[in-house]
Structure 1
Amino acid sequence: MFIPSLLAYWQAILYAATCCVAVEANSTLLAGGTIIAFNEGENALQVIRDGSLLVTGDRIAGIYESGKTPSDIPEHTVVNVTNKIITPGFIDTHRHGWQTSMKTLASNTTLWEYFGRFSEFASVGVFSAEDVYLSQLASVYEAVNAGVTTVLDHAHHTWSNETSNAGLRASIDSGARVFWAYAFHNVTNFTVPEQIANFRDIAQKSTFKDTPTSLGIAYDYFGSDPEEQVKDIVDLAMELNVSVVTTHTLQGPFGSKNTASKGLAILLTIPVSNSPIHLEQLGLLASSIPIVFSHASFLTYQELQLLRKTNQYISITPESEMHYGHTHPHSHLAMDQAALGVDTHFTFSADILTQARIWLQKVRYLIFTGPLELWRVPSNNPMSVNQAFLLATRNGGLALHRPDLGVITEGAKADLLVWDGTSPSMLGWNDPVAAVILHASVGDIEHVLVDGKFVKKDGKLTNTDYPAIRDRFLESAKRIQGVFLERARPIPEPGEHFGGEDVGGELMEVMLVDAVRGDGSGYGTEFLDGSKP
């Protein structure tokens, strides 16, 4: 039996391709596994046990129940996936790939400290084009290895023509599906008009053509930059019909407008607004371009209604938002217009599975708290593993206006994961969705396919050059970390406000919790080689 098709459009394309070039098609049959598919008619996940999945070219050509694989399918390679689980690849709707080189330097940092020490503005002049290339490539390989097949990369390594092009080239070379969003920002020695010229050159050359990488725009100053500059960015996005526009938005005590702030003697601009209301006024929300609002931690009810009306999405990055302290007070009420992201992966987990698991339990905690405060006992669970799975897969595709991503259905892109169902952590599973969301680890992912091609097979990345890339990256990262380790940790001034007194709330030193008996004896130091005391 065939699963209902994704869209008639994609089905027509697929049938035309298979009818005309079936003999030449590159087809793979994943045979005998449990498939977590998506049934569009019921708008729900559908599990097929002992099923088979046919990949032809870059798309899913057929999904078959046990014993019902047709005998007349195109010439194909068979991959035995008995006792394994097949899922769509995970979709990360917010990441900064170029920051990989700083891994473990900011394990205890806050958002206030991040802006002054590790942000795009604090990194100007530290990274060469080669550094950006290696750091970005290492990031995407890390994502692919963990089952992330699609990344929306907020690429704010755009400090020059060279560093910009390097990040794009790394994204293309990774073989993953990367929505590479060029960041326009006011940095020293590389003006926004120069960035626009660079962007046009990149778009015209189209080196990403016929690859899974596409060109988007990242911009964080819709509410503060001069009207002319904002208009230039909006016009550019519309003219080139970019694959996505993405922006950070916070608000709340972090401020209602963007502001210039001075930290560590570096003048930087903190994006804290970029409300959906701003983008609606500019005509972007109603355009055909997908708009992704990263974090949206203090999204208002009115803004959520606006997103629903225009079908635009937020990217919830659970671990990041807890790590940096801006949290997510209302995000659990906006999940029908939300997907998941990772953010600054150099500070914590880089995989979407972890984000889905953290978010599932955080939402349960948030909703359970209400009855418990009334001395009542919850009698039902507010969020299911199915919902966490959809946030990590299908909702990411919807956020990017790509219903052919993040689902297993006929005609969808063949971005797939194969999980070892007999691993120690998954052994004995019954519900495959629960097995993945609550019991699996990224180490259980045996195969990863993007566009029907294996980018990870039998537990290893397929790029034979990876060992050499790894060695080059380590050499680059050592130098970059040395630069950041020379910088002392900033100390807030008495009465200092986040972003300035007229913008955000006053900084406050919070209590320290301790896992060791005594007065402040357990917090300890960071074990960083070469750091300043």
Structure 2
Amino acid sequence: MGLKRTAYKTIASNTTLAEYFVRYGEFSQAKTVFTPEDIYLGQLVGIYEALNAGVTSILDHAHSTFSRETASASLNASMDGGTSNIFAFTTHYLGGPWFFANSPKLLRDLDFLNTSFPIVFSHSSFITPGDTHFTCSADMVTQARLWLQSMRLEFFRQTLNRWRIPGNSPMSVNQAFLLAMREGGLALRGPDIGVIQSPNMLGWADPVAAGIMHSNVGDVEHVLVNEEWRKKDRQLVLKDGLNMTRDESAKRIQEVWMQTPLPDLEGEFQPGAPYAGADVEDVVRGNGRGYQIKQCHSPTATVNYLNY
């Protein structure tokens, strides 16, 4: 999770990884736009979003290391947020056409895999364009539901393309539960993370399936971290004035990006890896595809209309 990116919410809802690199990532104008206070506030609000969903342990991609000041602001917010937070300086391995090579084999050859601290390979699954809470929610159950159905789709498609009818489900709700809860804790060498001793959906025949398929953030009533309330009676316990300050910071940052032209993604991303247009879904009758909603402002109203 990249916690400091809270300010990017809604302005990058249709972004791609290629666009992200040049528009929102470490190689963009972010390092000149985000102040240490922006970093602190974004990090803290990102943590609160996770706490609201019942997430108390986070591995955070420490993308805010533009300077000593921004790095310190990010770390301070992580400590003030009240979660068990792994402040992870990142190195990327994507493979495929992305060409960001830092493979498990390389780290093994350098003897980095036999240390006392955990090394986690993320962004290496080669399946998603983004895994931060500005492109999707911090609710792990929702993400697990997406993993489950997307993997079922992928494996079902492979069988159907061979002109065969699938005779089994290729991924179970229990596997989704393990990935969302247990296996993440084990990857961080935290065997006590993600252990649920008494699921609160005892009326269901299968509590794991109930949690993965039917629960939501509203089911998280209380959250305690180190014997302190972080969420009580379904309400977050926040610092006074945080929301107003955060809104001001987010509006300033979003205005900068709204005024910045989109990058021209033509030619090659890297030598040997050309850009290509993906097919676009059509979900409306008649002209247009319903891809984007634009706003038309008038003195009396704001009208939304479908375009493209």
Give runs of aligned pairs for residues 91-130 of structure 1, distance below 5 A. Answer: 95-122=1-28, 123-130=30-37
Q: TM-score, normalised by structure 2?
A: 0.88
Percent of residue pairs identical = 51
* Alpha carbons 1:290, 1:400 under 8 Å: kept: yes
Q: Give the equivalent residue in structure 2 for 1:131.
A: 38
- Structure with larger Rg: 1
* Alpha carbons 1:514, 1:523 under 8 Å: kept: yes
Q: Give the equivalent residue in structure 2 for 1:480.
A: 253
State the 1:418 CA deviation. 7.9
* Alpha carbons 1:497, 1:507 under 8 Å: kept: yes
Cα deviations across residues 255-300 of structure 1 (Å, max 9, x unaligned)?
2xxxxxxxxxxxxxxxx221111111211112232111112135xx
Q: Give the equivalent residue in structure 2 for 1:297.
A: 125
State the 1:219 CA deviation. 3.5
Secondary structure at 1:402 match in 2:
coil
State the 1:374 CA deviation. 3.5
Are positions 1:351 and 2:155 aligned together? Answer: no
Larger helix percent: 2
Q: Give the equivalent residue in structure 2 for 1:448.
A: 223
Structure 2 portions without partners, runs of 5+: 298-308
| Structure-2 change in CA distance of 1:155 and 1:362 (3 Å) | same
Root-mean-square deviation over aligned CA pairs: 2.3
Are positions 1:372 and 2:147 aligned together? Answer: no
State the 1:527 CA deviation. 5.0
* Alpha carbons 2:204, 2:210 under 8 Å: kept: yes
Distance in 1 (alpha carbons) for counterparts of 2:144 and 2:225: 21
Q: Give the equivalent residue in structure 1 for 2:300.
A: none
Q: Give the equivalent residue in structure 2 for 1:252.
A: 96
Secondary structure at 1:152 match in 2:
strand
State the 1:350 CA deviation. 2.0
Secondary structure at 2:56 match in 1:
strand
Q: What is the identity, as a one-letter code, of the residue corresponding to 1:445? A: V
* Alpha carbons 1:134, 1:473 under 8 Å: kept: yes
Q: Give the equivalent residue in structure 2 for 1:497.
A: 268
Are positions 1:141 and 2:48 aligned together? Answer: yes
| Structure-2 change in CA distance of 1:429 and 1:408 (3 Å) | closer
Distance in 1 (alpha carbons) for counterparts of 2:182 and 2:226: 16
Cα deviations across residues 117-146 of structure 1 (Å, max 9, x unaligned)?
111231011111111111000000001101
Are positions 1:389 and 2:162 aligned together? Answer: no
| Structure-2 change in CA distance of 1:98 and 1:403 (3 Å) | same
* Alpha carbons 2:281, 2:289 under 8 Å: kept: no
Cα deviations across residues 23-74 of structure 1 (Å, max 9, x unaligned)?
xxxxxxxxxxxxxxxxxxxxxxxxxxxxxxxxxxxxxxxxxxxxxxxxxxxx
State the 1:526 CA deviation. 4.9
Among 270, 275, 283, the alignment partner of 2:111 is: 283
Among 176, 188, 195, the alignment partner of 1:400 is: 188
Q: What is the identity, as a one-letter code, of the residue corresponding to 1:441? A: N
Among 59, 76, 90, the alignment partner of 1:152 is: 59
Q: TM-score, normalised by structure 1?
A: 0.52
**How many residue pairs align between the two structures?**
296
Secondary structure at 2:122 match in 1:
strand
* Alpha carbons 1:151, 1:177 under 8 Å: kept: yes
Structure 1 portions without partners, runs of 5+: 1-94, 182-217, 221-247, 256-271, 299-317, 325-341, 410-416, 423-427
Are positions 1:513 and 2:281 aligned together? Answer: yes
| Structure-2 change in CA distance of 1:461 and 1:484 (3 Å) | same
Q: What is the identity, as a one-letter code, of the residue corresponding to 2:215? A: A
| Structure-2 change in CA distance of 1:510 and 1:441 (3 Å) | same
| Structure-2 change in CA distance of 1:528 and 1:389 (3 Å) | farther
State the 1:524 CA deviation. 3.0
Q: Give the equivalent residue in structure 2 for 1:242.
A: none
Give runs of aligned pairs for residues 70-85 of structure 1, distance below 5 A. Answer: none
